[in-house]
């Protein structure tokens, strides 16, 4: 029996989870709590990484953590600066199945972790099972992007009718796109079990 689960996090950030193990190329954070994945991209040298930008990242992460109480499960914001290079953009998103309290705890924890792990990154993201937190020096809202990302690979070959499987996955993705776009928190999930 083939079983798979697809979860789309956000219209601008798609993730496909097929109940698989993470790829070895992903940086994994060992932490006391749940397992987190992170990506610190576009690391800067200290000379090009201003104190103002770092301060704006801290402010942004504080804003994200404090706005998680809005019960929407999604939030994005910008900390503008007099110098465009110091402006920072950020967002968080929680899964639909997480309670408001779990969402809040996750975003707070992810914000702490991202500041510890990505101290000189111009752009970074932390993923937990129920949420992600991201910041960047460029505006990424309402844009489809494939980076940064986490990739999960199935460690077993699919046994069955590949064409039929691909059709089911394609139909699910189309359904999820519509559901996520009309959902208040811009997320959707669906499971399929086929013999």
Q: What is the DSSP string of 160-171?
A: S-HHHHHHHHHH
d(CA 175, CA 71): 25
6 within a domain of the structure (yes/no): no
Report whether pLDDT(11) > 50. no
Residues 6+ apart with CB under 8 A from 155: 20, 21
CATH code (residue 58): 3.30.430.20
Report whether pLDDT(180) > 70. yes
The 10s digit of each residue's pLDDT in 75-103 is 899 999 888 889 999 999 888 778 888 99
d(CA 111, CA 134): 9
Q: How many domains does the chain have?
A: 1
At 166 the pLDDT is 87
pTM of the model: 0.70
The 10s digit of each residue's pLDDT in 109-139 is 999 999 998 888 889 999 888 898 999 999 9
d(CA 161, CA 130): 32
CA max distance for the chain? 59
């Amino acid at each position: 029996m083939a079983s798979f689960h697809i979860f789309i996090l956000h219209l601008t950030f798609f993730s496909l989870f097929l109940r698989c193990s993470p790829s070895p190329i992903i940086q994994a954070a060992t932490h006391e709590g749940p397992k987190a994945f992170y990506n610190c991209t576009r690391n800067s040298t200290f000379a090009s990484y201003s104190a103002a930008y770092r301060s704006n990242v801290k402010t942004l992460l504080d804003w994200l953590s404090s706005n998680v109480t809005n019960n929407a499960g999604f939030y994005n914001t910008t900390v503008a600066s007099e110098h465009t290079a110091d402006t920072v953009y950020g967002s968080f998103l929680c899964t639909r199945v997480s309670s408001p309290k779990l969402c809040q705890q996750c975003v707070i924890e992810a914000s702490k972790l991202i500041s510890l792990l990505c101290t000189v990154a111009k752009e970074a993201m932390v993923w937990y099972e129920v949420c992600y937190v991201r910041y960047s020096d460029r505006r990424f809202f309402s844009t489809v992007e494939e980076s940064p990302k986490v990739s999960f690979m199935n460690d077993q070959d699919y046994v069955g009718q590949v064409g039929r499987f691909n059709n089911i996955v394609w139909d699910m993705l189309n359904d999820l796109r519509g559901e996520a776009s009309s959902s208040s928190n811009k997320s959707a999930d669906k499971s399929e079990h086929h013999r």
